[in-house]
Chain A
Amino acid sequence: MSVTIQTSTKAGNDRLRQIFSGAPLRIAIITIALLWTIPTIGLLITSFRPPDDINSSGWWTVFQHPFEISQYTIQNYAEVLTAEGMGNAFINSLLVTIPAVVIPITIAAFAAYAFAWLEFPGRRFFFIVVIGLMVVPLQMALVPLLRLYVAADLNGTYLGVWLAHTGFGLPLAIFLFYGYISTLPAEILESAHVDGASPLTTFSRLVMPLSVPVIASFAIFQFLWVWNDLLVALVFLGTRKEVAVVTSRLSALIGDRGQDWHVLTAGAFITMFIPLIVFFSLQRYFVRGLTAGSVKG
């Protein structure tokens, strides 16, 4: 293998070695890249093939005549969106996800500001609790919360799921926002104070606008987390067709129609569609959000 790390040097004498090491290295990378894409491509192609074709030949056979339009159909999508309720589930997912992203942002930002810039008794203690809660497995919360929900008639409601995602997302959000807000220049905040701004004014006029990047990172992480979540949706929202989200609907389809690949592949692609758009359009924030959010419990 070549000695050169790209950042270290691009000197001419390295080029020779790079050419020698190039071929096997490239083949290795291309192999891995193929292994990482082929499964998804197979799913996508299958979702556009008629059921009979799917069951009688592998999806790769379409490459014998890739441009023959007659071998593709959008009937699978029509079936899964309407008859199988995936269209409804898609709307439910949006309904669950958007408030579950927005609500924790406000609450966490207020708290992070207090932890960073206000003095109050127990500040260190409470902050350490928040850090500790970040990695608590949410399994620890399921049994007692479900009972509370049943008692409060919140089980199976969107409100219950929003609040659950808010609660589970708060420690990470506070931690992230704190990391950012505490590094804002003290002079700016102090001069606002000298000018007579109350903490609330300082927060809403200065701190929130300055924190947009970190809020964006968290928003993307939380969006993907909630959209892709299955466990919280199963426990607190249930699998009733009227309220089920895409992940729980898809998992129900796998149980009911396990061999109907035309339904499953189209359904799977519907669940993946929005996250993939987010991924490709906001890749930079996406990486930042995921990296930052990786510690979540």
Chain B
Amino acid sequence: MAETVEHTAPAPGKQSSTFVTGTLRVIISFIVPVITFLALRWSFTYMRDADANKFLVAVVALIVGVGAVWALYIITDNLVSLLPEAVREGVRPFVFVGPALVILGVYLVFPVFRTAYLSFFDARSESFIGLENYTYIFTNPDMLGVLRNNIWWLIVVTSFVVGLGLVIAVMVDRVRWEAAAKTIIFIPMAISAVGASVIWKFIYSFQAPSRPQIGLLNAVVVALGGDPQGWLILQPWNNFFLMFIMIWILTGFAMVVLSSAIKGVPAELLEAARIDGATEIQSFFRVIIPSIRGTLITITTTVIIMVLKVFDIVFVMTSGQFNTQVIANRMFQEMFTFRNAGRASALAVILLIAVIPVMVYNVRGMRSGRSQR
């Protein structure tokens, strides 16, 4: 090849080949995903007939999923090398990027537009009903309760996770067994929300007052002279008992990220503040917080996105009963219990609209970052 990697755009004066190049790019992009898909499907249909065991399924999946995908990339690259020189290097990048774009198109871009479209249709997606699904969501008392719960989740969980994470990060920074303390607080992040829900369901469990309490929370309450409570049906506080599970899961994560940011604050800065007579509290708010502002914003937006879509905890703990419903769980019910594709789609769109500010912020950050490069 004569051209450098960075200068592979088609040479000027080859207008006639633009159409050809474009078509080839599209074809090339589809080769890997389509053939992989067909190969996997064929092998599994075949195995279903053969009543294959699971070990075989796994082996085939790995061979096809890794080996065949690589082989297909190599084959398409070789195919491109056979093309006339005029179009070859214009097409080649799409050997690399095309398959990913096709998959993203099928799995994310198309569904996003389709869901937005379906949100203007009725339960069975047959007749156009305009904004009716949205009017329902914003006027029906049940739905308003769902939205209200989600807002409470956002406020309570985000502020506790970030606040508590920050406080713990500052605290553990001063003890010698910092690593051990951090590990312990971080562990819940590794386990699934379903597993965590069982852990906490057991803590909150309730037995008739005449029997011994096996749930830790009620045991403590009884030991202190109180009456045992069914915490998960105790409205409206049951929402907060569910929120606490997510706080328990995410605090360690916020703490670890913030802790490494705090360690990055230049020592001279803190020293200078101290020499100027700043108290501990002052240097925390005037030096540390401004220095880690970027990390604080990132972690806050991250937690907001996670909390917004909370599903597993509510699904497992209460299925949204006793006024604990949230958007993502209600959407799941609209899909599978009430079979209302229109309302389910409208709920998804509300989630999407809620994350758009974060999306814009990320894209902007990316653009400014790119221009510096």
Q: Report B165-200 CB contacts with A as 1/0, cut-off 8 Å.
A: 000100111110010010111111111111101111
CA distance A164 to B37 in the complex (A): 12
In the assembled complex, which residues on chain B have CB atoms less than 8 Å from the CB atom of A126?
Answer: 97, 101
Query: Assuming the A-B contacts A9-B267, A99-B65, A189-B5, are A144 and B110 also in contact, with contact meaning beta carbons closer than 8 angstroms in the complex?
Result: yes
In the assembled complex, which residues on chain B have CB atoms less than 8 Å from the CB atom of A103?
Answer: 65-66, 69
Report the minimal beta-carbon distance from A139 to chain B, rounded to whole angstroms. Answer: 4
What residue in chain A is nearest B288 (Cβ atoms)? Answer: A5
What residue in chain B is nearest A33 (Cβ atoms)? Answer: B184
Query: Assuming the A-B contacts A58-B213, A110-B97, A135-B305, are A143 and B54 also in contact, with contact meaning beta carbons closer than 8 angstroms in the complex?
Result: no
Query: Assuming the A-B contacts A58-B213, A99-B65, A139-B328, are A291 and B351 also in contact, with contact meaning beta carbons closer than 8 angstroms in the complex?
Result: no
Residues facing A in B332-373 (CB within 8 A) are 332, 335, 341, 344-345, 347-349, 351-352, 355, 358-359, 362-363, 366-367, 370, 373
Is B286 among interface residues, defined by CB-CB distance under 8 A?
no
Is B100 among interface residues, defined by CB-CB distance under 8 A?
yes
Report the minimal beta-carbon distance from A31 to chain B, rounded to whole angstroms. Answer: 11
CA distance A174 to B108 in the complex (A): 14
What residue in chain A is nearest B106 (Cβ atoms)? Answer: A167
Does B96 contact A118, Cβ atoms closer than 8 Å?
Answer: yes
Does A3 contact B280, Cβ atoms closer than 8 Å?
Answer: yes
In the assembled complex, which residues on chain B have CB atoms less than 8 Å from the CB atom of A7?
Answer: 263, 265, 267
Find B352's partner among A46, A95, A136, A254 (CB 8 Å cutoff). Answer: A136
Does A159 contact B74, Cβ atoms closer than 8 Å?
Answer: no
What residue in chain B is nearest A224 (Cβ atoms)? Answer: B190
Is A267 among interface residues, defined by CB-CB distance under 8 A?
yes
Does A98 contact B109, Cβ atoms closer than 8 Å?
Answer: no
What residue in chain B is nearest A200 (Cβ atoms)? Answer: B77
Residues facing A in B182-240 (CB within 8 A) are 183-195, 197-203, 205, 212-214, 216, 219
What residue in chain B is nearest A225 (Cβ atoms)? Answer: B192
In the assembled complex, which residues on chain A have CB atoms less than 8 Å from the CB atom of B96?
Answer: 110-111, 113-114, 118, 199, 203
Is B73 among interface residues, defined by CB-CB distance under 8 A?
yes
Report the minimal beta-carbon distance from A64 to chain B, rounded to whole angstroms. Answer: 14
Q: Report B1-20 CB contacts with A as 1/0, cut-off 8 Å.
A: 10011111100000000000
Does A159 contact B195, Cβ atoms closer than 8 Å?
Answer: no
Is B248 among interface residues, defined by CB-CB distance under 8 A?
yes
CA distance A198 to B80 in the complex (A): 12
CA distance A250 to B312 in the complex (A): 12
What residue in chain A is nearest B8 (Cβ atoms)? Answer: A119
CA distance A200 to B214 in the complex (A): 62
Label chain A's interface by main secondary structure: helix
Query: Assuming the A-B contacts A9-B267, A56-B212, are A137 and B40 also in contact, with contact meaning beta carbons closer than 8 angstroms in the complex?
Result: no
Query: Assuming the A-B contacts A1-B280, A5-B262, A115-B97, are A140 and B351 also in contact, with contact meaning beta carbons closer than 8 angstroms in the complex?
Result: yes
Does A99 contact B61, Cβ atoms closer than 8 Å?
Answer: yes
CA distance A46 to B73 in the complex (A): 51
Is A57 among interface residues, defined by CB-CB distance under 8 A?
yes
Is A244 among interface residues, defined by CB-CB distance under 8 A?
no
CA distance A46 to B203 in the complex (A): 11
Find B199's partner among A8, A43, A170, A286 (CB 8 Å cutoff). Answer: A43
Find B115's partner among A94, A106, A144 (CB 8 Å cutoff). Answer: A144
Find A54's partner among B7, B194, B214 (CB 8 Å cutoff). Answer: B214
Q: Report A31-59 CB contacts with B as 1/0, cut-off 8 Å.
A: 01100111110110010000000111111
Find A167's partner among B95, B108, B178, B358 (CB 8 Å cutoff). Answer: B108
Is A131 among interface residues, defined by CB-CB distance under 8 A?
yes
CA distance A163 to B373 in the complex (A): 34
Does B367 contact A106, Cβ atoms closer than 8 Å?
Answer: no
In the assembled complex, which residues on chain A have CB atoms less than 8 Å from the CB atom of B270?
Answer: 5, 8
Report the minimal beta-carbon distance from B227 to chain A, rounded to whole angstroms. Answer: 17
Does A291 contact B257, Cβ atoms closer than 8 Å?
Answer: yes
Query: Assuming the A-B contacts A32-B185, A42-B202, A132-B363, are A5 and B173 also in contact, with contact meaning beta carbons closer than 8 angstroms in the complex?
Result: yes
Report the minimal beta-carbon distance from A294 to chain B, rounded to whole angstroms. Answer: 4
CA distance A287 to B252 in the complex (A): 11
Find A139's partner among B175, B202, B312, B351 (CB 8 Å cutoff). Answer: B351
CA distance A229 to B219 in the complex (A): 32
In the assembled complex, which residues on chain B have CB atoms less than 8 Å from the CB atom of A287?
Answer: 186, 256
Beyond A110-B100, A114-B96, list 15 extra A-B contacts (CB 8 Å).
A5-B265, A7-B265, A7-B267, A21-B174, A60-B216, A114-B93, A127-B366, A139-B328, A140-B112, A145-B107, A159-B61, A168-B107, A168-B108, A170-B100, A271-B192
Q: A-B pairs with the 5 shortest C-beta distances?
A: A167-B107, A228-B192, A111-B100, A114-B96, A120-B93
Point out residues on A near B: beta carbons under 8 Å. 1-9, 18, 21, 25-26, 28-29, 32-33, 36-40, 42-43, 46, 54-60, 91-92, 94-95, 98-99, 102-103, 106-108, 110-111, 113-115, 117-121, 124, 126-146, 148, 154, 157-159, 162-164, 166-168, 170-171, 174, 182, 189-190, 193, 196, 198-200, 202-203, 224, 227-231, 234-235, 247, 250-251, 254, 261, 264-265, 267-269, 271-272, 275-276, 278-279, 283, 286-287, 290-291, 294-295, 297
